Structure formats: C-alpha cells, structure tokens
C-alpha cells in the first residue's frame, strides 16, 4: 500500500513539473536571456528535473521500472519545449534585415511641443494677464442674437449673408445658430453675467465662409478683449494696447492708431506696428458702443469701456516670418518642428 502511494506521489510530481514548466515558458518575455533562465531552472544541473531524478536512487528497483521511463520522457518533453521556443525566437530575429545592425543605439525619440498658434495665444494672454485681465473661453456655436444683434450689427449687414457666415440647420427657425464669426459675442455674455469692473480676454476659434489664400483662412483664431468700468477713457485703451505691443514685440516697438469702423465700438480704431520699415495692422479696437452697453442692461451714462480683437496667427506670422497662414493647418512636421524649444 505504501509503495503504491509513493509511486502515485512521484507520478503526480512529474505531471505537476511538466505543467509548471509549460506555463512558465508561455509567460516568458520574448528574449533569449529569459529562455536561458528557464532552462537553468528546469534542465540545469541543480534544476527541478535533476532533483526529481535523484529520487530514483532512493526507491526499489520495481518502482524504478515504473518511475524511470516517466522521468526520462519528462526530460525529453522539456528539452523539446526548450528547443521549439528557441527556434521560435531565432526565427523572429532572422526576419530582421541582414543589413540592419541590431547593436547600434536606438533612434532618438523626437520631442513634441505646443503648436505655434497655442504658443502665441498663451504669450498674448499672459501679456494681458499681467495687466489684470482674466482669461475666459466661449462656445464656438453661437446664436444670431449674441453674434450680431447685441453687437449692434444691423440685419442688413453683409456679415449676416449666407456667403460670409456658416449658418447651421436648426429645427426652430426662431433660434438661428451659426459658427461664430468672431469672439466678440463673449462681450455680451460676460456683461450679462458679471457686474463691472470687467477686464477679460477671450481666445478661441472663429469661422467665416471665405476663400483661403496666403493671408486668409476660413478657420482661424481671435483674441477678444473687453474692459468695462466707470470713467474708462480712450487713453486707457491706447495705453493697454501699447503695453501689450511692447510685451509681445519688444520694449522699443512703435505703434500707430488710425480711425476705423466697427459696429460695436464708437469711436473705432485699428492699431498698426512698425515692422521691417512698414506699418502692419495687427488689431481692431474702440470704445464700447452705448447701444451694446444698453443691450446688456448697463447704463452708458455711468459705465464705459473698450474692446479689441487680435488675430494671433497674424502676430505669429510677423514674429516668426511665416509667409502663408495655411501652414498653421497643414500638420507638416518640417514647419512645426521649427517651434520645438
């Protein structure tokens, strides 16, 4: 009875060792070093198979006739597992191009960076933040009310035409939605939500239905600025924008203001900078129109303010000598890699 139990235990150990070896082999990482460690662990001089074979010296000859062939077969099976796995690894290595030197160091991983548009938007926003402006964001899908009506843009203005604005199909004809043509709608939304004093800049994407060329894109960015308080004057508008120009373009930057027209400001101006001997317009601005203040519930006799809009891509084009605005949307690494620091 004891001999029978002893044989069964040894047979179970043989079966368990084969299962353990097979499972460990399957979980190995695909490299020669791991396979060699497995071979030493199971087939080495002091390995698990060697320990099992030492049992043969301690059992009667009759039991050896039963146990011996089983252990020898286990040795054959383990060696076959080892050989098959090694052949598999070698076949993977042999698939590598013979002209490829695997001893060479790996390729350098290229570092990414922010998109040039993101970089200039952050630079401009940081310039205004240093002057006490908050940074807000708004929806890219807007209503006709906020994009036009509350900004004193009349119903017959060309900007409302379907050839200039990307209108969206809506179920309710009374609520007309569109892709915002500027970030100015946030003027009204912020004034409705906050009481003066207000000083905010709003960066974001805008969309216009127009042909693209080296200086125009149908999708572009704009940074809207708004300041509302009691007794804000035009000189504060000029001082704020002049300080921004110094922070972005340098402390000796010259600027020029000229009269211009925008429906939501009165008076309106454009600001140009002297760049490479030429005056280049970079933004439009002006004092917030009294009708805009009245439309959001502000008393224009008590409050005043100024607003401005900057095209960050145009600023980046000047600073980085970029000739074509379409480069910002090409995802060309030859272009983008120039901005990796």
Known active-site residue 182: yes
d(CA 211, CA 21): 69
Nearest to 167 by CA among 147, 192, 193: 147
Is 162 a residue of the active site?
no
Is residue 233 located within the same domain as residue 280? yes
Q: 138 and 8 in one domain?
A: no
Q: Within 13 Å, how many C-alpha atoms sit on residue 214's CB side?
A: 5
Length of the chain: 341
Q: Confirm whether 246 is a catalytic residue.
A: no
Instruction: Say whether both 262 and 315 belong to one domain.
Output: yes
pLDDT of residue 66: 80
Domain-embedded: residue 233? yes
51 & 179 share domain: no
Residue 280 resides in a domain: yes
Residue 18 included in any domain: yes
Quickly state the pLDDT bin for 259 (edges 50, 70, 90): very high
Give the mean pLDDT of 83-111: 72
Pair 255, 271: CB distance under 8 Å: yes
> What are 219's strand-pairing partners?
207
Residue pLDDT, tens place only, 158-205: 766 655 888 888 777 777 899 999 999 999 999 999 999 999 999 999
Mean pLDDT of 110-127: 90
State how many domains the chain has: 2
Q: What is the DSSP letter of 297?
A: T
| Catalytic residue list contains 279 | no
Q: How far, in Å, CA of 203 to CA of 224, rounded?
A: 6
Q: Quick: pLDDT tens for 145-155.
A: 999 999 998 88
Query: For residue 120, what is the domain's CATH number?
Result: 3.30.930.10
Final residue belonging to a domain, choices 61, 94, 127: 94
**31-60 residue pLDDT tens:** 778 878 888 888 888 888 787 777 777 777
Integer Cα distance of 305 and 303 in angstroms: 7
Per the residue annotation, which of 200, 201, 285, 307 is the catalytic one? 307
Whether 121 and 239 share a structural domain? yes
All residues at 6 or more sequence positions from 66 whose CB lies less than 8 Å from its CB, including other chains: 7
Give residue 231's domain range: 116-339
- Residues 308, 175 within the same domain: yes
Residues 154 and 42 grouped into a single domain: no
Does the pLDDT of residue 142 top 90, yes or no?
A: yes
Are residues 287 and 328 part of one domain?
Answer: yes
Same domain for 171 and 50? no
Domain membership of residue 109 (yes or no) is no
The catalytic residue among 182, 199, 289, 314 is 182
Separation between Cα atoms, residue 337 and residue 341, nearest integer Å = 9
Give 5's pLDDT tier (boundaries 50, 70, 90): low
Question: Residues 45, 162, 163, 334: which is the catalytic one?
Answer: 163
Task: Indicate if 307 belongs to the active site.
Answer: yes
Find out whether 285 and 241 touch, Cβ atoms under 8 Å. Answer: yes
Same domain, 62 and 168: no
Find the catalytic residue in 115, 122, 189, 208: 208
In this prediction, residue 217 carries a pLDDT of 87
Tell which of 94, 129, 146 closes a domain: 94
In percent, the amount of the chain with pLDDT more than 70 equals: 94
Q: Is residue 101 part of a domain?
A: no
Q: What is the pLDDT of residue 61?
A: 75
Check 21, 187, 222, 292 and give the catalytic one.
222
Please name the residue that has the structure tokens 């211009």: 260
Whether residues 31 and 141 share a domain: the answer is no
265, 269, 285, 315: which is the annotated catalytic residue?
265
| Mean pLDDT over the full length of the chain | 86
pLDDT of residue 1: 42
């Amino acid at each position: 009875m004891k001999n029978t139990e002893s044989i069964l235990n040894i047979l179970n150990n043989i079966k368990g060792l084969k299962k353990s070896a097979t499972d460990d082999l399957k979980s190995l990482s695909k490299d020669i070093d791991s396979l060699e460690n497995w071979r030493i662990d199971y087939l080495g001089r002091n390995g698990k198979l060697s320990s099992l074979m030492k049992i043969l010296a301690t059992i009667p000859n009759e039991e050896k006739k039963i146990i011996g062939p089983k252990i020898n077969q286990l040795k054959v099976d383990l060696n076959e597992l080892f050989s098959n796995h090694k052949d598999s690894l070698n076949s993977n290595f042999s698939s590598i191009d013979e002209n490829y030197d695997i001893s060479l160091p790996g390729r350098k991983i290229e570092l990414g960076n922010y998109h040039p548009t993101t970089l200039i938007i952050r630079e401009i926003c940081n310039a205004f933040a240093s002057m006490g402006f908050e940074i807000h964001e708004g929806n890219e899908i807007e209503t006709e009310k906020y994009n036009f009506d509350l900004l004193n843009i009349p119903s017959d203005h060309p900007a409302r035409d379907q050839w200039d604005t990307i209108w969206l199909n809506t179920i309710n004809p009374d609520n007309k939605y569109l892709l915002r043509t500027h970030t100015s709608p946030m003027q009204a939304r912020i004034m409705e939500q906050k009481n003066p004093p207000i000083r905010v800049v709003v960066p974001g994407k805008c969309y216009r239905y127009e042909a693209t060329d080296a200086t125009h894109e149908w999708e572009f960015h704009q940074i809207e600025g708004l300041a509302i308080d009691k007794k804000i004057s035009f000189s504060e508008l000029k001082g704020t924008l002049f300080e921004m120009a110094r922070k972005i373009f340098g402390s000796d930057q010259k600027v020029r203001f000229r009269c211009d027209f925008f429906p939501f400001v009165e008076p309106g101006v454009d600001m140009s900078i002297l760049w490479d001997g030429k005056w280049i317009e970079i933004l439009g601005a002006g004092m917030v129109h009294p009708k805009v203040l009245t439309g959001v519930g502000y008393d224009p006799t008590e409050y005043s303010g100024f607003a401005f809009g900057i095209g960050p891509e145009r600023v980046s084009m000047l600073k980085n000598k970029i000739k074509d605005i379409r480069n910002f949307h090409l995802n060309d690494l030859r272009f983008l890699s120039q901005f990796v620091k």
